[in-house]
Amino acid sequence: MFRRLPEIETAAEKVSFTIDGRPAKARAGDSVAAALLANGVTACRNTPVSGAARGPYCMMGVCFDCLVTIDGTGNRQGCQVRVAPGMAVETQNGKREVER
């Protein structure tokens, strides 16, 4: 469903990060949501009520379907955060508690 154009893929600088503890690579400047899709991860979270899988949809911060845990902080919109070297991204299962 999602794939990069070959000429862009070869020219881009790579960034290493992890998805659910597995090593992954992304293009420098990619959002976390785009990096997940490029690495074959189509579901970022499961809803707390029905458990239905949700993945990036609008890619501009409106729908909240791309919520992930980034470096230990839950409920981050993956489409609004650029991937960074060494970043730890985790998919979410259900709701996350808000830190106070």
CATH 3.10.20.440 fits 6-92, yes or no: yes
Confidence of residue 15 (pLDDT cuts 50, 70, 90): very high
For residue 48, what pLDDT is reported?
86
Kindly list the distances between the CA atom of residue 61 and the CA atoms of 30, 97, 99, in Å, as whole numbers in the listed order.
15, 20, 21
For the chain, give every domain's residue range. Answer: 6-92
Query: Each residue of 44-67: pLDDT tens digit?
Result: 999 888 999 999 999 999 999 999
Q: What is the pLDDT of the chain when averaged over all its residues?
A: 89
Q: Which two tokens stand for residue 44?
A: 């970022």
Instruction: Determine phi and psi for 59, rounding to 5 degrees.
Output: 60, 25
- Please, which contacts does 70-75 make with residues 24 or more away whose CB atoms are closer than 8 Å? 70/32, 73/99
On the question of pLDDT at 83 being above 80, the answer is yes
